[in-house]
Structure 1
Amino acid sequence: MTTTVPAPPARVGKAAVGALGLLALSTGALESVVSPTIPLLERELDMSQSEGALLSIVLLITGALVTPLAGKFGDRYGGKRVLVLLMAVVSAGGTVSALAPNLPVLLLGQVLQGAMVGALPLSFVVVRRHLPAGESKVAIGVVSGLFVGGGMVGMLCAGPVAEQLSRHWMFALPTLAVAGATLLVHRIMPDDPPGRADGAGIDWPGLLLLSGMLVTLMLVLALAPEAGSQPLVLGCLVALLAALVAGWVRVERRAAAPMVDLRMLARPAMWKACVLTFVICLGTAMAVYLVPQLLDERGEGYGFGASATEIGFFLLPGAIAATLAGPLGGIGDRRFGSRAVVGTGVVVMALSLVALAAVHSEIWHLVVGKALIALANGLCVTALMTSTATAVDRDDTGIATSLILVSRVLGYAVGGQLGGALLTAGTPAGSQAAAESAYVTGFVIAGAVVSTALFVTRTLRKGATA
C-alpha cells in the first residue's frame, strides 16, 4: 500500500509578501479614518457626544470579537481562503460607511469593517506556512509595520479628504484600496493547506459573553467621570462586568472549541505577551488621544490652537516612526530576542511619556515625544507578535497571534477611554478647555502603567525566541 505525502506549500516571493503588506496598509488606513473626524461626523450627522463615543469604539469591539474566530478558521481551513472572504466583508462595510446617510447605517458599516482586525493573524498564518522561521519574522514585521503605518496615514488624510471632498470619500478611497489589494493577494499568493479540523462548532456562548464584556467595559469607562452623579448606575455596571467575566471564563473552560483558548493563554510565554501588549498599547493610546488634543487646545498659557491640517503635519514623524518600527522590531527580535527589544521599547516609551508630562511648552516637544512613543510601541508589539507567532505550533499560529491582537485592541480601547475620561473630568464647568493638569496627569498615569511592563519583561526568556 502506498501512502500519499502531501506536497509542501509553495514558497512565497517578495511580490506576495508585498501584496499582503499593501493589504495591511489599506486596512490600517480604513480602520483609522473615524477617530480624527468624530467632531465633523457629529456635526454632519447631528450626533450627540455619547453617540460619537459609540461610533469611535464599535469597530474595536467587533474587531476583538472577530479576531479569535478569524485566527481559528485560518488555522482550520487555510489562511488565504479565510482572508479573502474576510476582506470581502470589510469591503462591503467600507462601502456601507461611504454611502451612509445617517448614524444607524454608518454604525452598520463600522460593524462590518471591524472584521478587518482579523486580517493580521490570517496574514501571519499564510506567511508562517510558506516561509522558514527566520524569514517569516521579518515578513510578519513588514506586514505589522505597514498596518500601523496605514493607520497613521488614515489619521493624517481623513480630515483633509473629508473637508475638501466629503466624509463619504474618506471611507471610499481606502475601501477601493482594500478591494484592489485583496484581488492582488488572491492572484499572487499561493493557497496554503488547511490545518487541523477538529469538527467542533463555533463557541457562540463565549462570543456573546465576550461581546457583553467589551460593551460593558466601555460603558464603565465612559461613565467613570460622572461617578459622583450616577454612583448606582456605575456600581451596577461594574457588578455586571464582573458577572460577565466570571461567566465567560467558566464557559471558555468547558467549551470543546473555545473562542479564546484559555489553556493557551495560561502558558507563561503567552499570558506574558498578552499582558505586555495590553499595557504597552494602553499607554500608547493615551498618548495618541492626548497629544492631538493638546495641539488643538486653546487654554491660557498652554495648548497651541493648531488646525486639523497642522496637527496632521505635526503627527507625520510619528507615522514614519511607526511604519519603520514593524520591520525593525522583526529584525531586532530575530537578532537579539524579544526580551531585549521589548525591554528597550518599554524604557523609551515610559521616559517619553514622563518627559511629555514635565515639558510640553513647545510644539517640537510633542512632535518628538509622539514619534518616540510610536517607535517604541511598534518595536514592542512587533517583537511580541513575531516571537509568539514563531514559538507555537504552526497550526496554532492564528489562535496565538489573535490573542495578542485582542490584547492590543483592548489596550487601545481602554487607553483612549481613560484619556477622554481624564480630560472630561479636568474640564471646569462652563469651559471648553481642559485644565493643563489633566494632560499632565494623563501622561504621568500612562508612563506609570507602561513602566509596570518592566516587571514582566524581566521574566521573558533571553533567546531569539519566546
Structure 2
Amino acid sequence: MATLLTAPPRIGRQSIGALGVLALALGALQSVVEPAVPLLQRELGVSPAEGALVANALLVTGAVVAPIAGKLGDRYGGRRVLIWLMTVVSAGGLLASVAPNLPVLLLGQVLQGVMVGALPLSFILVRKHLSTGQTQAAIGLVVALFTGGGMVGTLVAGPIAESLSWHWMFALPTFAIIAMTAVVTRLMPQDPPAQPDHRIDWPGVVLLSATLLALMLGLVTVTNAGLPPLAIAGIGLVVAALATCWVLVERRAVAPMVDLRMLAKPAMWNACVLTLVITISLGMVLLMLPQLFAAEADGYGFGASTTDIGLFLMPGAIAGALSDSVGGIAARRFGPRAVIVVGTVVTAATMFALASWHTEAWQLVVAKVLIAFAAGIGTTALLAGTATTVDAKDTGIATSLLVVTRVIGVALGSQLGGAILAAGGDRPTESAYVTGFVVAGAVAALSLIVVRLTKKGTRV
C-alpha cells in the first residue's frame, strides 16, 4: 500500500507535448498586441498612453494571478486550476476578438492576463508526474515553447490583421488554446491536492489586486487626461491608502500572500530597486520603438505596416529569449553585480545613441536587440542571484516579488513613454522621441548609482 501511495501516475510524451503546445498558443496570444499597438490606436481612436494600457492590463493581471495560481494549484490540484484558468483566458480572448471599443478590449486583456499562472501550474503537474531529470527537461520544453509562442505572435500579428482584421489576432490563438485545453484535460491525469496548513490570504489578494489596478488606472488617467494637481494628488492618496492597507493586512496574516520581511533584507531590497529601474527603461523602449516604426516617413519615422513592425521587432524578441539563459550563466560565472553593470552601460549607451541616430530602420533594430539582451541578462542575473542568496525556503517568495516588480517596471515605463509621446499632441514630433530616448537612457543609468550605493559585501 505504501508503494501505491508514493508512486504518482506517470505521464507520457503526448501529455508533455500538449502542455507545450498550450504554452505556445498562450505565448502567441500574449504577444500579438506589441506590434499592433499603433494599429489598435488608429482603429479605436485612442492616444499612445491608452494604447500602452492595452498591453499593461495583461501584465498587471499576470502579476497578481501568478502567486495566486500556485497557491490554488497546491490546494485544489494543478490540473483542475489550469482548466479554470484556461476557461478565463479563452473568455478574454474571445471578448477581445469582438471588442468594439477600448473598454471592452481592456476587459478582454485583463481576463487574458491570468495566462501567466499557467506556467507555475504546468510545473506543478510535471513535478508530480515525472522524475527529477524528466521534470527539468519538461519544464525547459514548456518555457521554450511559451517564449517561442511570443515570437510567433509577434510575426503573425501583422499578416493576420492586414489580411483579415485585428480581431482575428486574438481569435485564432484563442481557438488553439481552447483545443489544447481539451487535449490536456483528456491526457493529463488528476493530481491529488496537498493539504494546506493555513487558509489562503484572500484579504491580501484582494488588496494587492486593488492596489495594482488603481496604480495602472491612475497612471493612464494622469498621463492622458491633463488633470489638475489636486486630482493627481487624490489619485496618489487612493493608491497609497490601498497599499498601506495591504501592508497592514500582510503583516498580521498567518500565511501572508507576500512575506514583507523579505523586502527588509538588503539583497532583496537592492534586487527589487534594480529590477524596477531596468524594466522602466525597457518598458519605454517597448512602447516607443513600434510607434517610431509606424510614424509617417516625413523627416522621421518609417510608415511601417503592422507586419513590417513585427519583422523589425523579431530580432529583439530572439535576443530577449536568449538572454534568459545567458543571464543565469553569466551571474554564476561573473557575479550578478558585474552583469548588471555591463547590461546597464550597454542599455544607457544604446538609448543615448538612439537620440541621435534613428533615421534608418536597421539602427532601431540593432538598438532593440542590444537593449532586450542587456535588460534580459540583468534581470535574470538579479533573479538568479537573489534565489541563491535568500534561504531555500524563501526562494519562491523572493522570486515572486521580483516578478511582480518586473511587471510593474515594464508597465510604468510603457506609461511614461506614452505620456512623453502624447505630450506632443496626436502626432508625436521627432523631438518627443528624442526626449523619450534620453529619459530612458537616464533611467537606465540610475542602475549604476544603485549598484554604487550598495553596501560592500552585500550580494545584489
Task: Look up the equivalent residue of 2:59 and give its one-letter code.
Answer: L
- The answer as to whether partners of 1:145 and 1:326 remain within 8 angstroms in 2 is no
Task: Look up the equivalent residue of 2:82 and give its one-letter code.
Answer: L
Q: Alpha carbons of 1:343 and 1:131: their partners in 2 closer, same or farther (altered >3 Å)?
A: farther
**Alignment correspondent of 1:231:** 229
Task: Look up the equivalent residue of 1:420 and give its one-letter code.
Answer: G
Distance 2:114 2:212 in 1: 16
Q: Alpha carbons of 1:48 and 1:309: their partners in 2 closer, same or farther (altered >3 Å)?
A: closer
- The answer as to whether partners of 2:93 and 2:109 remain within 8 angstroms in 1 is yes
**Alignment correspondent of 1:261:** 259
**Alignment correspondent of 1:355:** 353
**Alignment correspondent of 1:59:** 58
- The answer as to whether partners of 1:37 and 1:159 remain within 8 angstroms in 2 is yes
Q: Alpha carbons of 1:445 and 1:24: their partners in 2 closer, same or farther (altered >3 Å)?
A: farther
**Correspondences of 1:47-446 after superposition (within 5 Å):** 54-100=53-99, 105-125=104-124, 136=136, 143-144=142-143, 146-182=145-181, 197-204=196-203, 206-225=204-223, 230-298=228-296, 301-333=299-331, 338-386=336-384, 398-425=396-423, 427=424, 432-446=426-440
SS of the residue corresponding to residue 6 of structure 2 reads coil
User: Where does the alignment leave 5 or more consecutive residues of structure 1 unmatched?
Assistant: none
Q: Alpha carbons of 1:276 and 1:128: their partners in 2 closer, same or farther (altered >3 Å)?
A: farther
Comparing 331-340 with 124-133, greater Cα deviation is found at 124-133
Task: Look up the equivalent residue of 1:361 and give its one-letter code.
Answer: T
Identity of paired residues, percent? 57
Number of residue pairs matched by the alignment: 458
1:251-284 Cα offsets, whole Å, 9 max, x none, are 2212233232212343444343333332222111
Distance 2:235 2:284 in 1: 23
Displacement, 1:314?
A: 1.6
Distance 1:270 1:343 in 2: 18
Distance 1:33 1:251 in 2: 37
SS of the residue corresponding to residue 256 of structure 1 reads coil
Distance 1:395 1:192 in 2: 23
Comparing 150-159 with 166-175, greater Cα deviation is found at 150-159
State the TM-score, normalizing by the size of structure 1.
0.81
Task: Look up the equivalent residue of 1:308 and give its one-letter code.
Answer: T
SS of the residue corresponding to residue 452 of structure 1 reads helix
Distance 2:446 2:257 in 1: 29
Q: What value does the CA root-mean-square deviation take over the aligned residues?
A: 4.0
Displacement, 1:422?
A: 0.7
Distance 2:172 2:224 in 1: 39
Q: Alpha carbons of 1:281 and 1:128: their partners in 2 closer, same or farther (altered >3 Å)?
A: farther
Displacement, 1:198?
A: 1.9
Task: Look up the equivalent residue of 1:245 and give its one-letter code.
Answer: A
- The answer as to whether partners of 1:145 and 1:324 remain within 8 angstroms in 2 is no
Comparing 159-168 with 396-405, greater Cα deviation is found at 396-405
Comparing 365-374 with 243-252, greater Cα deviation is found at 243-252
Displacement, 1:320?
A: 1.9
Q: Alpha carbons of 1:372 and 1:228: their partners in 2 closer, same or farther (altered >3 Å)?
A: same
Distance 2:110 2:214 in 1: 17
Q: Alpha carbons of 1:48 and 1:306: their partners in 2 closer, same or farther (altered >3 Å)?
A: closer
Displacement, 1:419?
A: 0.2
Distance 1:342 1:182 in 2: 39
Is 1:448 matched with 2:442? Answer: yes
- The answer as to whether partners of 1:22 and 1:146 remain within 8 angstroms in 2 is yes
Displacement, 1:448?
A: 2.3
Task: Look up the equivalent residue of 2:359 and give its one-letter code.
Answer: S
State the TM-score, normalizing by the size of structure 2.
0.82
User: Where does the alignment leave 5 or more consecutive residues of structure 2 unmatched?
Assistant: none
